[in-house]
Structure 1
């Protein structure tokens, strides 16, 4: 008569590899399974295998073995050891079976042992825990799957997203990201620790690992390279490098006329001809420079015979169009600089006023009376004045 006794402390099954219960094994490697009991009165050990697609363990064992009184390991003739296994009796309490060259179709298979112990007249049965085989398959490559473009154009102060993908493997791989310091060695490259995440998707019996980098791009990141490294076993695999092309709007334009900066003020002589040329740092370079002033907007940058009415305040606006990788529509950026144009011109014919009235020709004054003569004219810069009269001359604007 058999008595069934279930316990996880006195009867165990484990593997000699890694992972949970030592059951994670590389494809093609052997896995030794050990069924162990703390008792020294073991009569019989049955090995049971449940394939991963089965819901229950079979009622019939795969292998039945025992260690006899002479120390010989005996196997039941009805349950011979399969050709892909080697089994043996280590001691009265320790029994092993080795799976030879574990393959992918064994992943997820479960094993357990049933011990019969006590005496032939009165024995007890006890099951071990269940051992699940996990197949470890090393990845063989990794690449940056998105964006596809290289270089990758990103607008300054926005986020660029990069996707790293491994070849199928098991378990999930670790993914790390680096900034390329543009040297021939990777030893001085800087690991990126923020803005990273990892996910995975199944690929048959294996797993594809995906790493994501979300990078806030600054202007000094121009021509920065980023790449990922991944591993799920000992060997690291490195992707290619994606270069970052940082797009940014124009700085305030620097404008010149006749090789002289127009800001804050450009001084020219009336009737002169000149052109204004502007530059602004941006990526890409500005496509348009728009001049606005007293005569309106979108003015030409060339002046042909400048007039007095064209003096005043001006602005030049620089514009560029930025198309980020993966973006649907371009972004227009603009910046401007302001300056004034000061037009110099000669004095017009002076005007003489006596007691507030404009006079020409001869002025009659009664002897003994006094009059104030004022002279004025329009010019830039303001004119100086001189008077010539019978008693002499003066440089004052008013003659009294």
Structure 2
């Protein structure tokens, strides 16, 4: 009880102006109705009285002058003030919304007094119903769950509830709890009986998750890439990310809605998927393909056949490089003219009948729009039989009997040739080696000499005729 003291002509009069609220706080469900009551009295005749809410002061013409709640547009058609007995006022608000949560005060005036106590009135809290889900058992095609229609209010008395499944009332259930099997696509909600239009938000298993990638343009190695998984679900879904063909027994790549590659690598290319799960079920997304582009890696070069290369055979050099998009290749010969056209613009450089002149070091380049790499050198060694040997004589002037004569044989060959010297009509060789020296040339040494150049690829002979005349040897 609140008393007010007045002073008139220096004389103190104790009078009793009072407002007593029935409830200091009330909690009510969204969509329901509430009665907020008080008793009031005054020693003077009350001229006006109304209910107001301080939280609505922003709508008043003057913030210091409360206005009648029944004239507030927010409450139009939803407010009644009832006077069931003298000195008792009841504010009835119907079709409650959460925005109605506020303090409510009663105000009255007399000819000389205005009740505007700053003390709290009645605090109203409007709360919506929520479905709480407790998973019991997960089956292959459905989930067995217990659902509870819950509110932060603790209403007095027994309330009746209505349960809805896929828009249809669940018959035979009027309690706050409901047990049942929930299938993918099921939508479940609850409401207070008689207030079905103010039901709880529906609960349901996750819908098919959608996946997105950022950036949506080309993904370049070394850049930052984020995959995002989202699914409509209530309760909210928990997310998990996996890579296709990964080990399902390993830990997931992420347990967040986003899978972030801060510095993506070519090895991260592949197909990814996510799962969305809540207490009512689990759904798996479609695959999303991640194609990481990158400049060519160091090219590798190979030669076929890998065995010894023989002149006249077919030889293929192959260049290969890991690149995305695929690389374009070019072949070059070391010390070749860089301004000339490449030997080949294909991954393979083919010699259909390789020649000794093709011996040398070769290299290739691999190039795409992201970069260019050059291979290491590969040496091509072409083997061939000795060419026609050439023979030289020293001295090259007249050869005098008794002098020293040196014969030299040379032949282009790979591998290098071995040399043997023969005299015509003699079966046994006269000497071996590239150089054959006769230190004391005599008449009996006259004759036809030739050398044989030989390697594992073949042999070739050369002829030299020596003639001795009158103590001199003439070479022809």
TM-score of the two chains, using structure 2 as the length reference:
0.47
- 1:298 aligned partner: 342
**What is the aligned counterpart of 2:68 among 35, 43, 60?**
60
2:313 to 265, 272, 292: 272
Q: Deviations over 1:100-132 (max 9, x none)?
A: xx3xxx55x66224489xxxx998823449989
Q: Secondary structure at the match of 2:267?
A: helix
CA distance in 2, matches of 1:177, 1:302: 54
CA RMSD of aligned residues (A): 5.6
How far does residue 313 in structure 1 lie from its aligned partner after superposition?
0.8
Q: How far off its partner does 1:221 sit?
A: 2.1
- Structure 1 distance, partners of 2:281, 2:4, is 51
1:202 matched to which residue of 2? Answer: none
Question: Gaps (5+ residues) in structure 1?
Answer: 4-11, 18-24, 36-40, 85-98, 197-210, 322-330
CA apart distance, 1:309:
2.8
Q: Distance between the aligned counterparts of 1:235 and 1:43, measured in 2? A: 56
Choose 1 or 2 for highest CA Rg: 2
Query: Residue 327 of structure 1 aligns with which residue?
Result: none
Give the distance between the partners of 1:83 and 1:387, measured in 2 at CA: 128
Q: Deviations over 1:68-97 (max 9, x none)?
A: 9xxx99852xx640222xxxxxxxxxxxxx
Residue 312 of structure 1 and its aligned partner are, at CA, apart by 0.8
Distance 2:117 2:310 in 1: 114
Q: Structure 1 residues 243, 392: closer, same or farther in 2, change over 3 A?
A: closer
Matched, 1:339 2:378: yes
CA deviation after TM superposition for structure 1 residue 223, in Å:
1.7
Counterpart for residue 241 of structure 2: 179
Tell me which residue corresponds to 1:91.
none
The superposition leaves residues 124-162 of structure 1 with CA deviations (integer Å, 9 ceiling, x where unpaired) of 82344998989897898664455597xx86333322234
Q: CA shift at 1:314, angstroms? A: 0.6
Paired position in structure 2 for 1:95: none
Retained in 1: the 8 A contact 2:311–2:383? yes
* Cα gap change, 1:388 to 1:61, in 2 (>3 Å): same
Q: Is the 8 A contact 2:315 2:352 kept in 1?
A: yes
1:387 aligns with 2:421: yes
- Partner of residue 103, structure 2: 112
Partner Cα distance (2:287, 2:264) in 1: 16
Equivalent in 151, 156, 159 of residue 221 of structure 2? 156
Helix, strand or coil at the partner of 1:385: strand
Distance, in Å, in 2 between the alignment partners of 1:52 and 1:153 is 56
Per-residue deviation, 1:289: 2.4
Instruction: Give the structure 2 partner of residue 200 of structure 1.
Output: none
How many aligned residue pairs are there? Answer: 307
Q: Which residue of 1 aligns with 2:289?
A: 243
Quick one: which of 339, 349, 352 aligns to 2:388?
349
- 2:210, 2:285 within 8 Å by CA — same for their partners in 1? yes
- Checking the alignment, whether the CA contact within 8 Å between 2:34 and 2:94 is kept in structure 1 is no
Gap change, CA 1:138 and 1:370, over 3 Å in 2? farther
Instruction: Write the mapping of 1:1-400 to structure 2, written as runs, cut at 5 A.
Output: 48=53, 50=55, 54=59, 58-61=66-69, 76=89, 80-84=91-95, 99=96, 102=97, 107=99, 111-114=102-105, 125-128=117-120, 143-144=210-211, 146=213, 154-163=219-228, 178-182=240-244, 188-191=251-254, 213=260, 215-227=262-274, 241-258=287-304, 260-261=305-306, 267-286=308-327, 288-294=328-334, 297-300=341-344, 301-320=349-368, 331-332=370-371, 334=373, 336-355=375-394, 359=396, 364-367=399-402, 369-389=403-423, 393-400=430-437
Indicate the structure whose relative CO is greater, using CA pairs within 8 Å and at least 6 residues apart: 1
- CA distance in structure 2 between the partners assigned to 1:244 and 1:52 by the alignment: 57
CA displacement at 1:339 relative to structure 2? 0.7
CA distance in 2, matches of 1:33, 1:219: 68
1:181 positional shift: 4.3
Report the 3-state secondary structure (helix = DSSP H, G, I; strand = E; otherwise coil) of the residue aligned with 1:340.
strand
Listed as ranges, the gaps of 5+ residues in structure 2 are 6-22, 42-49, 71-78, 108-112, 131-200, 438-476
